[in-house]
Amino acid sequence: MLSIPSDQNSKLTFQELDLDLGCGSCVLLRCILIILDAGKTLSARRWHASFSQDGYLDIAKVLRRIQRGGVHPSIKGVVWEFLLGCYDPNSTFEERSLIKEQRRQRYRMWKSECQMMVSVIGSGRFIATPLLDDDGLPIDQSLIGLPISDKKTRQWMQTLHQIGLDVVRTDQALVFYETESNQAKLWDVLAVYAWMDNDIGYVRGMNDICSPMVILLDNEADSFWCFERAMRRMRENFRTNASSMGVQLQLSTLSQIMKTVDPRLHQHLEDLDGGEYLFAFRMLMVLFRREFSFVDTLYLWELMWAMEYDPNMFSLYEEYEDTKREDYVPALNDKLLKKYGKFQRKNLKTGNTEQQLNTLSVFLVASVLEIKNRRILKEAKDVDDVVKILGDITSHLDAKKACDEALKIHKKYLSKGIVNAKSHGAEVASIFADISILSRHLRRVQDLPLLA
């Protein structure tokens, strides 16, 4: 079921869209497309018309289209590259072509490095069984190309097994993953990313973020860089240890938001021992992959990324020495403000610089709770009931409606003057004062599958 924005002139058509996904294969992606009035969906024609002769992108025009009705399936991949900061809209075709080739070469180099250690990488196959035994020694020496000389290599090889298990479970209903070569493509991207991210590496759930990018972008290296940019925004969600979880700060922010915009519902959740909002763990960690169908997830993500868009993202993400943090100067005049997504634009206008409030996903969870407000208040007798009520929304949420509601909650929250880091920090400390309780809840959550 595809969520449709409320519009009397909207109409549904069932279409079969052939997407050339590379590797000599053409996969039939059956999806329900929204055919809207002119000015709603960003079509391929409107997308191409948004570039100047030299290649400069009118990002303000593009954001307006996306925020109204999403992106046509035929151009989702290339549009996402801009939304996630892979490319600067204020760049030429030639400049982006050079960047693309440099990144592809870098990915090939990293993949070759990984392949020298584990020969299966890049072979069109993948593994879902352990490479090493409990003592860290190779189980099948033929799969290991180089001696295991350090802790990083050993940990990475142990991770490949988990990546393989997760790849098997990823989007099983899609035709795309019926072939092992496409599963291997996802495995390769995640394996290379795990090798390059020395801090967090791979954590279960990253496969669900990466999968759409592997499907939508023909070139594997392009998929990797799109995923890498997405992880720049989300990687802290996956930083988990024995006493805390990556989304802990977002959950505390959610608690503060609900306490402000709907104190009655918040108090009810507190009474149910749900005031820490751990039931929202998976929503935030994998950006609602459980709550929305695959097609709806793509629509939701691009709405969110368009609303959060910051035109300075590319410069901030680049690691070149000549890129300096002070280059980022928030624009305040009307013309430049239009280059920001409406969510980020509101933050700039109100002077909100608190990082945890710059994430639309937290307000989106709040909007879901508001949508289910009456039922939670009436039916929920414990936290398990809340989980069940939220579970019932799967594939029945209107993504556009939820995003619009999230923006309203964001506006309401900011209008109450809650953007105060000191008071919010005190709230965080209060919510998570008892680490032993949090750890006990965390172990329960981590034992649950991220996706059904």
Domain-wise residue ranges, the chain: 11-83, 93-234, 238-446
Report the share of the chain in percent with pLDDT over 70: 78
Given this structure, which CATH class describes domain 93-234?
Answer: mainly alpha
The number of helices, as runs of H, and strands, as runs of E, in the chain is: 21, 2
- 205-210: which pairs have CB atoms within 8 A and are 24 or more residues apart? 205/238, 205/285, 205/286, 205/450, 206/231, 206/238, 207/163, 207/166, 207/167, 207/169, 207/170, 208/170, 208/171, 208/286, 208/289, 208/450, 208/451, 209/234, 209/286, 209/287, 209/289, 210/186
**Contacts (Cβ under 8 Å, ≥6 apart) of 223:** 185, 189, 210, 213, 214, 216, 217
Task: Express each pLDDT in 104-127 by its tens digit.
Answer: 999 999 999 999 999 999 999 999
The pLDDT, as a whole number, for residue 242 is 64
Place of tokens 């928030």: 330
pLDDT > 90? residue 4: no
Q: How confident is the model at residue 40 (pLDDT cuts 50, 70, 90)?
A: confident
Segment 228-256 shows an average pLDDT of 86
Q: Report how far residue 441's alpha carbon sits from residue 419's, in angstroms, rounded to the nearest whole number.
A: 28
Which carries the bigger pLDDT value, residue 400 or residue 444? 400
pLDDT > 80? residue 245: no
The pLDDT, as a whole number, for residue 247 is 87
What mean pLDDT, rounded, does the chain reach?
Answer: 83
Task: Express each pLDDT in 134-178 by its tens digit.
Answer: 878 888 887 887 777 788 999 999 999 999 999 999 999 999 999
Segment 402-424 shows an average pLDDT of 77
Q: How confident is the model at residue 268 (pLDDT cuts 50, 70, 90)?
A: very high
DSSP string, 187-225: HHHHHHHHHH-SSS---TTHHHHHHHHHHH-SSHHHHHH
pLDDT > 60? residue 395: yes
Which carries the bigger pLDDT value, residue 228 or residue 335? 228
Task: Express each pLDDT in 352-374 by its tens digit.
Answer: 766 656 789 999 999 999 999 99
292 phi and psi, to 5 degrees? -125, 150
Q: Report how far residue 369's alpha carbon sits from residue 33's, in angstroms, rounded to the nearest whole number.
A: 27
For the CA atoms of 27, 32, 38, 39, what is the dihedral angle to 10 degrees? Answer: -90
pLDDT > 90? residue 61: yes
Q: Report how far residue 142's alpha carbon sits from residue 151's, in angstroms, rounded to the nearest whole number.
A: 20
Q: Report how far residue 151's alpha carbon sits from residue 157's, in angstroms, rounded to the nearest whole number.
A: 10
Is the sign of the CA dihedral 290, 363, 251, 272 positive or negative?
Answer: negative
The pLDDT, as a whole number, for residue 330 is 55
Q: Report how far residue 285's alpha carbon sits from residue 203's, in angstroms, rounded to the nearest whole number.
A: 11
The pLDDT, as a whole number, for residue 16 is 37
pLDDT > 80? residue 218: yes
Q: Does the model's pTM come out above 0.85?
A: no
Q: Report how far residue 45's alpha carbon sits from residue 156's, in angstroms, rounded to the nearest whole number.
A: 44
Segment 302-327 shows an average pLDDT of 76
